Amino acid sequence: MSITQTVQSTAQLPPLVPRIRTLTNATRFLQNPTIPLAQYIQEYGETFAFYVGGVKYGILSIDPEVNQHVLQKNNKNYHKSHIQKDFLGRFTGPGLLVTDGDYWLKQRRLIQPGFHRAKLAALTEIMQKVVDDSCDQIELQEGQEVEMSHLLLEFAFKIIAKSLFSRDYSDKLMDEVDDNVTEIQRYVIRLIRQPYLHWWFRMSGKEKNYNDISEETRNILLKIIHERKKSSETYDDLLDMLLSSKYEDTGEGMSDKQLLDETLILFAAGHETTANSLSWTSYLLAKHPKVVEKMRAELSEKIGDRKPSFTDLRELTYLTQVIKESMRLYPPAWITDRVALEDDEVKGYKIPKGTIVNCYIYGAHHSEKYWKNPEAFIPERFEKENMKGKPNFAYFPFGGGPRLCIGNNFAMMEMQLVLAEMVRRFDFELVPDQQIELQPLITLRPKNGVLMKLYRR
Ligand code: HEM
């Protein structure tokens, strides 16, 4: 008999929010779950159970120890939930973000080296060129109202597309991919939010329409991959990296289908998150001109009038703190979830097999237990001194454990380049009388966008 069988566990299920309460809160939950969730945390503690949509038993936690257990220490017992797999995976195919187990590990090992610092350094120039061109475009709209989320989504789309395809990039093709990806994302959101309409989507031909759009996008990308394979040139972009990666055991590269799946995942995971973070940051900067002054002072001191090089970016500590603090207040990936493969226990709580565990990133980032004055925007919190003693997983905008965001350094570098150029070139002014609200969908967006006027300095 094993030890686990002889010792009686004293672990208990986490406190349960009554089903009637989750049902009566359903509409509020759909509009903005952060509000009812903050109330539950106050009443039931850092870890509690509830019926997701009034039906499916699930646990939610902001406790760093619990989230570290699920995402890192006992990660082998937890797989991705059906939300990420069914909804996103259906259109992207089985790429890194939505696979599990041995296949995921094999792909992660293959792709990870492509995101190492030396590889990223090679992308600095590509990114900086997009940033410069886009800022030139913004200058043409000086003083006009611009919607920042829209603008920065275009920015981020171009950056990931050019980082993937550098010289194969054509405006016409990429506009088509951009439109398709946007439409598919809108549809995925409807699938998640309106499960009761799935039958209608099927009957009305919507589902087929979106499958066709998805197929069209795959064909465009596949054509680029085929042409690149025939080329003997070196490109130093992400597609080159994917094409040249070889499995350790066979020495073979990925099949065309795998290349396509992974390319689509990098597209899908790699631009909306970053764009949201940049939108929230621009909003915060417009409200905190002193922070902007401090960023400008750092830029003048450390790099003067030059464009920042890859090595410069490391020196821009205040800029990095601004980005980190913005992602604390507005984590673009505001929640993630896993399903328990077997019964488990953590911190005296039972996690029965099959339970969905929600690691509530937004909640941890806004907890008074870990952050003094949590609603205030204070980039200096991220000074080394001030972060001493903070538990791991009190701050985890990129997730954690073996499935930590593979693009985290890419994203940080991109945000640094965009923000450095924007604060150097522009003054930000928020258009008055707008309500900036949270819209937590797959990622955390500003609900009605952020209207702003930008002026050349
Ligand atoms: C501010 C920007 C970003 C944020 C906040 C973010 C956040 C995250 C988070 C929280 C996860 C883990 C999800 C989980 O554990 O369930 C993740 C995974 C992932 N991210 Fe990001 N991400 C960002 C940018 C990017 C970029 C730029 C790329 C690609 C260039 C990217 C590619 C991926 C991929 C492929 C995964 C799956 C990794 C795996 O499961 O092995 N992300 N991201």
Q: For atom 27 of ligand 1, which residue has the closest CA?
A: 270
Amino acid at 384: K
Q: What is the pLDDT of residue 3?
A: 41
For the chain, the distance separating the N- and C-terminal CA atoms, rounded to the nearest angstrom, is 74
Atom number, ligand 1, closest to the C-alpha of residue 443 = 5
Asked, for residue 79, whether it belongs to a domain, the answer is yes
What's the token pair of residue 99? Answer: 């696979």
Top mutation candidate among 98, 110, 273 for ligand 1, by most atoms within 8 Å of CB: 273
Q: What is the pLDDT of residues 201-224, one digit of tens each?
A: 888 988 898 889 988 988 988 998
168-173-175 Cα angle (round to 5): 120
* In-domain check, residue 2: yes
Nearest to 315 by CA among 300, 306, 301, 302: 302
Let me know if residue 269 belongs to a domain: no
The predicted-structure confidence for 80-91, as pLDDT tens digits, reads as follows 987 777 777 777
- Identify whether 388 is part of a domain: yes
| 66: in domain | yes
Domain that holds residue 31: 1-87+334-396
- In contact, 338 and 79? CB cutoff 8 Å: yes
User: Does residue 182 register a pLDDT over 50?
Assistant: yes
Number of independent structural domains in the chain = 1
| Tens digits of residue pLDDT in 330-341 | 999 999 999 999
Q: Is the pLDDT of residue 118 over 90?
A: no
CB contact at 8 A, 177 and 217: yes
- The one-character DSSP state at 389 is T
**Residue 190, SS3 per DSSP:** helix
Instruction: Identify which has the larger pLDDT, 282 or 206.
Output: 282
Ligand 1 centroid to Cα of residue 442, in Å, is: 12
Q: Taking all residues of the chain, what is their mean pLDDT, rounded to a whole number?
A: 91
Nearest ligand 1 atom to the CA of 411 is 27
- Ligand 1 centroid to residue 407 C-alpha, Å: 6
Q: 70: domain CATH number?
A: 3.30.43.20
pLDDT value at position 191? 78
Rounded average pLDDT over 348-376: 97
pLDDT value for 68: 98
The answer to whether residue 281 is domain-embedded is no
pTM summary value: 0.94
Domain assignment present for residue 295? The answer is no
pLDDT at residue 297, as a whole number: 98
Looking at ligand 1, which residue's alpha carbon is closest to its atom 2? 274
Q: What's the 227 CA to ligand 1 centre distance in angstroms? A: 28
Question: Does residue 449 sit within a domain?
Answer: no
Res 24: pLDDT: 86
Atom of ligand 1 nearest to the CA of 401: 15
pLDDT at 1: 38
Helices (H) and strands (E) in the chain, counts: 21, 12
Q: Which residues line ligand 1 (CB under 6 A)?
A: 96-97, 108, 160, 265-266, 269-270, 273-274, 277, 332-333, 336, 397-399, 403, 405-407, 410-411
Q: How far is the CA of 159 from the centre of ligand 1 (A)?
A: 16
CA of 98 to the centre of ligand 1 (A): 11
Instruction: Look at 264 and 360; give whichever has higher pLDDT.
Output: 360
Q: Does residue 4 register a pLDDT over 60?
A: no
